[in-house]
Chain A
Amino acid sequence: MTGALLELDSVSKTFTRGGLFSRTQVEAVIDVSFRLEMAKPEIFSIIGESGSGKSTLARIILALQAPTRGTARFKGRDLAGLRDGADRHAFMAAVQPVFQNPFEAFNPLKRLDRYLYATCRRFAGAKDEAAMQAGADKALRQVGLSLAEVKGRYPHELSGGQLQRVAIARALASGPSLLIADEPVSMVDASLRASIVNLFRKLRDELGLSIIYITHDLATAYSISDRIIIMQKGRVVESGDARTILADPKHPYSKTLKESVLEPLAPGERPLFAR
């Protein structure tokens, strides 16, 4: 396969606030362009503080919001042209979200296997109970769980790390080619975070899945990303190879961001706020 999986061409999004007489415009995303190749699955990180426009960008890529200017194309198709129906259905199967807080993403009164069954039925063409169960089990095994562990369980019965794995499995059940993960580890315990991050790497290598990883955590972004873009107030201020940029950021904002990361102490290192 050749060509672009996802292509953003100077995408901007402006929100208008206020009424007839006091209209203000908020530019959430300004002139963002990047391209993910179909032939080369990668983990692409979008980094920025809150208000930098990274979540708006995610909503544009998920076709939940149309850009004000510029075009976003998925496999050559303009996302603005997606109508409800078969096109949109195929797009939803191919691009799946993973949300920040797994405790809020799932209805506490609904069994977890139901989510997997529904996704299999709607997007993976599972016709009967047996096909749905097979699809759910396959997706759960890809994240290191199995249907036997999840069947009949409610969200409160699982830990945050397990629940986030189920959320990822649910996204995988439709057989997507792109995952949009918005802060997927910020609500997960530190000891389990590394395993979720490693899981993303495994999905990229084994399933050939491209992942857009949205975060403000530079350290995890460094450990898994192939490429990154750093956003400030809606604009991309720096982009390129993750290791090169994070090892030696050029833009003043990227530098500030890197200097503000509080990392665990290396032997002999002095704490920043030491007495």
Chain B
Amino acid sequence: MSAAMRNPAAKPEAAQGPVVAVRDLRAWYRLRLFGVDREVKAVDGITFEVRKDEIYGLAGESSSGKSTLVKTIAGAMRPPLEIVGGEIQFSFMDGTMGLNRAPADLVERVRWRHLSYVMQGSMSVLNPVRRIGTSFFDFAFRHMGLDNAGFEAAVVAHLARVNLPASVLKAYPHELSGGMRQRVTIALATICRPQFIIADEPTTALDVVVQKDVLAMFRSIQREMASSVLFVTHDMGVHAHLTDRLGIMYAGRLVEEARTPDVFARPRHPYTRHLIHSLPRIGDDRPRIGLEGTPPSLANPPSGCRFHPRCVFATERCRVEVPPMEQVAPDHRVACFEKDRVEATP
């Protein structure tokens, strides 16, 4: 029996709270080879929350630590990756700190029932020698608590929601197109109506036309179930049209977070600003400027603000001190000492 049922008064409050709250999370790769310690601080002090019924976007380039963050939240860590500090709290697991420290039987019950995952390569996710229907059985049957006939009816009804015919259950993954396979993985991830879905680059491998359909369908399913989604991609165009709030990662840290339209209209961090200004648009002939310098190494990141070597606004202070994440407007946080100058620059 859940806490909410024992104490009905607590329920509205719980519904408004975040589904996932990440506080000052540090997840490092720690290597100890021949007496040499090497630490790669892939996630270094990240705080954010995903609210009920929203799509939270996470943007960042390769080696910014976004995949490590996702792995850590999903509890899919293997050495040398370990959580060094901070905590992850789920609304559907009271009191436990993240999936990595929860007892195994609880993890088994929670995974896929409350927390599911849409992965990038649909071809490598679906078992090539099992029919789609068998995969549904493997993933979802024990969580649904239905008999065989009821389960099959539920699966067919759910497939209709993602515009797939019931006949795909008899098909093998290779018989389906890339778009259909990605729909299958989305159907798999949503069939248990989980509160929280992690989507890691789910449409990157798809063509633009198919991508648009899949994203529209993903949004409608999310809305219907009022789930919360952590949506990771480096494609700013996808973020612009899909996500409600957007967090920008750079070198293992969150540098800016705001409602998505605000990120595009009023970026306050120099990196975000640059990222948005460098995106080409059809019908806009202004030249785009690429960012100078190279992405920092996470094994030996720059001192102070990690963006300072590539930043045109950098001052002496940025080289020494780490800028804290500060609230600058409702739902808008940014980690930059020069944020007012950035905003004032056209």
> Are A and B physically bound partners?
yes
A-to-B contact residues, CB < 8 Å: 49-50, 158-162, 189-198, 216, 218-220, 222-223, 243, 246-247, 256-267, 271-275
Contacts of A259 in B (CB 8 A): 212
Q: Does B278 contact A (CB under 8 A)?
A: yes
**A219 with B62: in contact, given A262-B237, A267-B265 (CB under 8 Å)?**
no
Residue from the set B178, B240, B275, B285 with the largest chain A CB neighbour count within 10 Å: B240
Instruction: Pick from B62, B212, B281, B289: contact of A264, CB below 8 A.
Output: B281
Name the distance in Å between B161's Cβ and chain A's nearest Cβ: 16
Query: Which residues of chain A have C-beta atoms less than 8 A from B281's C-beta?
Result: 219, 222, 263-264, 266
Bound form: Cα–Cα A11–B184 in Å: 38
> Of A50, A222, A258, which is within 8 A of B207 by CB?
A50
- The answer to whether A260 and B235 touch (CB under 8 A), given A197-B288, A219-B282, A271-B240, is no
Residues of A within 8 A of B279 (CB): 190, 219, 263-264
Instruction: Please determine whether A216 and B207 come into contact, CB atoms closer than 8 angstroms.
Output: yes
* Interface contact A191-B274, CB-CB below 8 Å: yes
* B264 at interface, CB cutoff 8 A: yes
Given A162-B294, A190-B61, 6 extra CB contacts under 8 A: A49-B209, A195-B289, A262-B212, A263-B279, A265-B241, A273-B242
Which residues 250-285 in B have Cβ within 8 Å of A in the complex? 260-261, 264-265, 271, 274-276, 278-283, 285
Q: Does B12 contact A (CB under 8 A)?
A: no
- Most A-side CB within 10 Å, residue of B219, B264, B271, B280: B280
The proximity string for B residues 196-232 relative to A, scoring 1 for CB distances below 8 Å and 0 otherwise, is 0000000000011111100110010001000000000
The CA-CA distance from A216 to B265 in the complex, in Å, is 27
Contact A192-B290, Cβ < 8 Å, known A260-B212, A275-B244 = yes
Tell me how far the C-beta of B248 lies from the nearest C-beta in chain A, rounded to whole angstroms: 11
With A194-B289, A223-B288 as known contacts, state yes or no: A264 contacts B211, CB within 8 Å: no
In the bound complex, how far is the Cα of B260 from the Cα of A109, in angstroms?
A: 42
Partner of A265, one of B244, B265, B275, B278: B265
Within the complex, the shortest CB–CB distance from B336 to chain A, in Å, comes to: 16
B21 close to chain A: CB less than 8 A: no
Given A273-B215, A273-B242: A257 touches B236 (CB 8 Å cut-off): no
Question: Which residues from B are CB-within-8-Å of A271?
Answer: 240-242, 260-261
**Residues of B close to A159: CB separation below 8 A:** 294-295
* A-B CB contact pairs (8 Å), 8 listed: A191-B271, A193-B290, A219-B279, A261-B237, A263-B237, A264-B240, A264-B281, A267-B264
Contact between chains at A191 and B283 (CB < 8 Å): no
10 smallest beta-carbon distances between A and B, as pairs: A195-B290, A262-B237, A189-B61, A49-B207, A194-B290, A194-B288, A191-B291, A223-B280, A273-B219, A194-B278
| Residues of chain B with a CB closer than 8 A to A195's CB | 289-292
Would A261 and B290 count as touching, CB distance under 8 A?
no
Which DSSP category, helix, strand, loop or mixed, fits chain A's interface?
A: helix
Chain B stretch 157-181: residues in CB contact (< 8 A) with chain A: 178
Q: Is the CB of A222 within 8 A of B61?
A: no
> Is there contact, CB below 8 Å, between B280 and A194?
yes
B287 within 8 A of A: yes
Residues of chain A lying within 8 A (CB to CB) of residue B74: none
Known: A160-B62, A271-B241. A257 touches B282 (CB 8 A): no
Question: What is the count of residue pairs linking A and B with beta-carbon distances less than 8 angstroms?
Answer: 136
B282:A190 contact, CB within 8 angstroms: no
Chain A residues lying within 8 Å of B238, measured Cβ to Cβ, are 262
Chain B residue with Cβ nearest A246: B282
Tell me how far the C-beta of B253 lies from the nearest C-beta in chain A, rounded to whole angstroms: 16
- Give the complex CA separation of A93 and B290 in angstroms: 30
**B283–A197 touching, CB < 8 Å:** no
Q: A262-B238, A264-B264 are in contact. Are A222 and B280 (CB under 8 A)?
A: yes
| Closest CB in chain A relative to B201 CB, distance in Å | 13
A78 to chain B, nearest CB (A): 34
Q: Kindly state whether residue B234 has any CB partner on chain A within 8 Å.
A: yes
Given A219-B282, A222-B283, A256-B209, A265–B261 Cβ distance below 8 Å?
Answer: yes
Q: Quick check: B275 and A190 within 8 Å, CB to CB?
A: yes
B87 to chain A, nearest CB (A): 30
Contact at A222–B282, with CB atoms within 8 Å? yes
Q: By the criterion CB–CB under 8 Å, are A191 and B61 in contact?
A: yes
User: A263 CA to B238 CA in the complex, in Å?
Assistant: 8
**How far is B207's CA from A246's CA once the two chains are assembled, in angstroms?**
18
Neighbouring A residues of B212 by C-beta, 8 Å: 259-260, 262, 272
Q: Closest Cβ of chain B: how far from A192's Cβ, in Å?
A: 6
CB neighbours of B283 from chain A (8 A): 222, 246-247
Question: Which chain A residues border B241 with CB–CB below 8 Å?
Answer: 262, 265, 271-274
In the assembly, what is the distance between CA of A162 and CA of B297, in Å?
Answer: 14
Central interface residue in A197, A260, A265, A274, by most chain B CB within 10 Å: A265
Known: A191-B61, A265-B265, A271-B242. A218 touches B282 (CB 8 A): yes
A108, B292: Cα distance in complex, Å:
25
With known contacts A194-B290, A262-B237, A49–B216 Cβ distance under 8 A: no
Q: How far is the CB of A40 from chain B (nearest CB, A)?
A: 20
B177 CB to closest chain A CB (Å) equals: 10
**Of B240, B276, B287, B291, the contact of A262 (CB 8 Å cutoff):** B240
- Complex CA–CA separation, A161 to B291 (angstroms): 10
How far apart sit A220 and B236, CA to CA, in the bound complex (Å)?
14
Bound state CA distance, A196 and B281, in angstroms? 16
Contact A216 B208 (CB under 8 A): yes
Chain B nearest CB: distance from A107 CB in Å? 20
B280 contact from A158, A191, A220, A265, Cβ within 8 A: A220
Q: How far is the CA of A220 from the CA of B284 in the complex (A)?
A: 11
